[in-house]
Every structure is written in structure tokens, then in C-alpha cells.
Amino acid sequence: MRLISLILLPLTACASFASTLFPLDPPKTGSVAETYVSFIQHSGLAYTLNKSGKPQEAEEHIDRAAACLDLTLVPKQHHLDLGTEAAIMLREILDRTEVLDVTSIPADVQKWRVAQTQFYIAKITSGPRSGEFLFTSESVDRIPQDFAKVADWPYIRPDSTKEFYNWYVRTPGRFMTPSWLTWTNQLPDWTFVMFWEQTLWQWAAIFIGAIVTIIFWFLGFKLYSANLKSTSLWRHPFAVTTPLLLAFWSAIVNDILVSDVNVTGVPLQILQSVLKASEYACLAWAAWVFIIRLVEITLQFASRGRESSSSSMVLGMLLAKIAASIVAFIILGFGFNRIGIPITGIVAGFGVGGLAFGLAAQPTLQNLFGSIMLLWDKPVKVGDFCDFGGVRGVVEKIGLRSTRIRTNNRQVTTIPNQEFSRAQVTKIETLSIIEKTIGLNSETSHEDVQRFLAGVHQVFKGHPEIRPDPTVHFVDFGTSSLNIYIRAEVGTREMAFFLAAQEAVLLEIMVMAKSLNIGFVGRH
């Protein structure tokens, strides 16, 4: 009689339990016995209600059964799906073991092993579920391999959940088949043959989803590449929309394959991790693009018409890229934690590898900080004419690594920012100076030399780009020439304008000299 009562106890408990369960009531896990009974009751009710055509209620009970498991070793992203699988497999394992006398479980025990198994129920001592008794994380970790060992064993419990897991992995949805997948019930039997924990029709769905996703991603990258070359005002919102659409697509495919097609086991973990990683990567990408484009638009409007607009743009975009990278890294870190990759390990890896990288990239980093100082202190800015160690010319670009200076003879000199920020730089307010020595024929008369000097003054005076008070003097008797020194400041910051002004001045001097019948001698 005692044996019969022990066998019937779970059955009668389930019947009364189902009628009194409150929808938000968690499973009782205050002791080893309570946790064991709660798991048996909830997993049994999930099986019974599902067989009775009540899949929604069945899901509520299987979730409570999974709540009796310590899932700390399972990534948060997989808690729902892997928790359900683990609960069903654990129940089927227990259905094949000795029927347990619940009253034999000690009331004050802190850790207890289920008979004929290596599954333990123990008290949790830390974390949000501290004080509860749960099937240990190590026990949960070994459930799949232990289930594979006893899958062919006979069921012993009278209330066994026969073929529960086999039904679960072959059926779309968790318990309720989605309406758009009801057609799978009409598939031929060979499509339900199992291969690596999935049926053949599920593998076909995974393959189709992968192909469509690859095509979608390819088109997304092509559109984004085209966006980078566009000059339309719509390129900015479209640049953010592309990664958001890719993130949305990854989430949709994940929901369809995991929730509707019901991919399970190891393929589930791989598929969900890849799709979630791509989703968070796209969100990080979208955040990065949004910050960069927002700052770019803001700087363009704020610096319109200002002389310092170019350097302000460079500094602003540099700071924007730093901020965008930090935000993107935070999003990726959150996503990595969700899929089970601890961000602390990544940071530690960066810390170890970062030292070697920092030593190898020290010159680059020094140039980067040098560019920040140049853009912040602004000793010179793009368009200024300056003298740097004997190199004189116009600052064309202040980049992240170097500064480019174009000299008067059209040569481009590239100077590392580390050197440029530390050296003495002389800023010349005008773009450049016309400075020449002209050799007149040695037979030129005194009067003609005076007329030539006056003519050069008039040429300079008549040109709008030449600053007042140019220098024009007879300075030397050459071997075969009378040398005239001329020097004039050009009031423009554009190299093209300077060269045009210099050309115009020299041509006018030639015309003026010809009119005076004065010839030139030699090169100076």
C-alpha cells in the first residue's frame, strides 16, 4: 500500500496543483524537497496540458520547471530555449530512474543527489536567487550527454512524459505551432528524420534563412558603399537606416528560426549566437554612423563662413570618432555578455595585447596626440602661410598622422605631427612674398634705371592683391648687369591666387621694360 501511495502522490498533487496555480506564482524552491516536487509537478503538468490541447498553459508550467534549474552557466540569450530543453530532458531522465520517496529527503540538507544520477540540488549562496535550492549549474551542464545515454531506456514512472523531448524537437514553435507553419504537418515522413538534433525540414529552413540573410547583407553593404559616394542630403539618414535594417533582419531571422522553426541543441546555440552577434554589431555600427554624421552636419552648419572651419571640422570629427567608438564598444560589450562572451575577458585581452600594440604603434600615437594639440591650440590652420625649419609654404591639411605643406614651387612636404607640434613654427600673415632680383643690361643709363624703378612701383601699386609699401631698389653692380631687388607682400591665402598675382606682376614688368627699351641679363 505504501508503494502505491508513493506512486499516486505526484499524480494527485498535479491535479490539485493545476487548479490552484496562480499565473505569476514562481515554483517553490525553499528546500531540496520543495524544488524536486516543484520540478516534477510543473514538468508533468506541461506534458499533460500539451497533450490535452492547451499549449499556452503548458508553456507556463515548463517555464516554472526550468526555473528550478541554475542556468548561470548558460548565456542569458539562451535561457528560455536551452532552459526548456534542459527541463524536458531532465524530466525524461528522471522518468527512467527509480521512483523517489519524497519523504526520504532530509529537511535540513544543503546539497542532495538524486538517486541513480549525478544530478544535485543545492542551496544558492550568491546572486539574485541566493537562498533558493536549485539543480546545480554543473548538473544542468551534463543533462544533454546524460540524456543521450538513457534515451533508449524504458520509462519507469507511471506519470512519465513519454517521448516529450522527441515531440518537442520535431515540432515547430515551443508548444504551439505557428499558424504559418501548420503546413509542416502534411510533410512526408522522411522530412522528419533527425540529423544532428534537427529534422531534415528544419535544416532546409536553416539553409534557406542563411542564403536569404547573406543576400540581404550583401545588398546592404552595396547600398552603404554607394551611400559613401553620394552627395545627396538624403545620404545621412540612409547611412544610419542601412545598419538598422540589417540588425532588424537578423532579429527577424533569429525569431523565425529559433521560436517558430524551433531549432534546438547545439545548432540553436550556434545560430542564435551568430544572429545575435550580427544584430548587436549592426546596432553598434548604426550608433557609430549616427554620431559621426550628426557631428559632421552640425559642424558644417556651425562653421559656415568662418576661417577656422577646416581645422574645427578636423578636430570635431576626431573627437566624434572617439566618442562613436566608445558608444559602439559599449553596445558590443552588452551584446557579447548576452550571448555568453564576457566583456571583462575581452578587455583583459586588449590590456595584454594593447601593451605590445602600444609599443609598436608609439610613433603613430604620438602623431595622433600631436594632431590633437595642433587642432586644439591652433598655432596654424589650413590655409595659413608658415615657416617650419626653413620650409615655407601653405598648410594644406592637418591630418591624424601628419601635416601637409605646399611650397611656392608647388612641392608638397609632409611633416609628422609629432615633429610639427614640437617645433618652432612661424606664421606669416600673407600667403607669400614676391621676392626677386632682376638684372638689367649693364649699359642701361642712369635715367632709364630710375624710370624702371618708378615703373615697378606703378606695377605694384596698380595690382589689387599687392600690399602697400613694396620694396624696389637698385642694390648691386653685377658682372654684366645692374641688379634690382624687388619685394612685395601678396594679400591672399590661396596658392592659386598668389601664383596668378605673381604672374601678372612679372608680365607687366616685362611689358614696362620693353616700352623703356630696357633688356634683362642673366637669371636671379
Question: 315 falls in which pLDDT band (50, 70, 90)?
Answer: low
What is the spatial distance between Cα 434 and Cα 489, in angstroms, rounded to a whole number?
6
Question: 423 falls in which pLDDT band (50, 70, 90)?
Answer: low
Would the pLDDT of 285 be above 60? Answer: yes
Would the pLDDT of 220 be above 60? Answer: yes
Closest by CA to 268, choosing from 258, 277, 278, 259, is 258
What is the spatial distance between Cα 493 and Cα 470, in angstroms, rounded to a whole number?
18
Question: 89 falls in which pLDDT band (50, 70, 90)?
Answer: very high
Q: Which residue has the higher pLDDT, 98 or 73?
A: 73
Would the pLDDT of 352 be above 70? Answer: no
pLDDT at 144: 93
Q: Between β-strands 391-398 and 111-113, what pairing exists: parallel, antiparallel or unpaired?
A: unpaired
Q: Give Cβ neighbours of residue 24 (< 8 Å, ≥ 6 apart).
A: none
Q: Which residue has the higher pLDDT, 226 or 261?
A: 261
Would the pLDDT of 509 be above 70? Answer: yes
The predicted model gives 398-419 an average pLDDT of 73
pLDDT at 9: 43
The predicted model gives 239-264 an average pLDDT of 90
What is the spatial distance between Cα 243 and Cα 285, in angstroms, rounded to a whole number?
6
Query: 462 is written with which cell numbers?
Result: 596698380
Would the pLDDT of 493 be above 80? Answer: no
CB atoms within 10 A of CB 316: 19
Query: Dihedral of CA 252/236/396/317: which sign?
Result: negative
pLDDT at 18: 47
Q: Which residue has the higher pLDDT, 418 or 165?
A: 165
User: Which residues are bridge partners to 433 per DSSP?
Assistant: 489
- What share of the chain in percent tops pLDDT 90? 33
Q: Give Cβ neighbours of residue 156 (< 8 Å, ≥ 6 apart).
A: 95, 96, 97, 98, 99
Would the pLDDT of 3 be above 50? Answer: no
3-state secondary structure 68-122: CECCCCCCHHHHHHHHHHHHHHHHHHHHCCCCCCHHHCCCCCCEEECCCCCCEEE
* Domains in the chain with CATH codes: 2-170 (no CATH), 199-337 (no CATH), 369-428 (2.30.30.60), 432-515 (3.30.70.100)
Question: 510 falls in which pLDDT band (50, 70, 90)?
Answer: very high
pLDDT at 310: 56
What is the spatial distance between Cα 379 and Cα 370, in angstroms, rounded to a whole number?
12
Q: Which of 22-31, 75-84, 324-333, 497-506 has the lowest mean pLDDT?
A: 22-31
pLDDT in tens, 377-405: 566 777 777 777 667 777 777 776 678 88
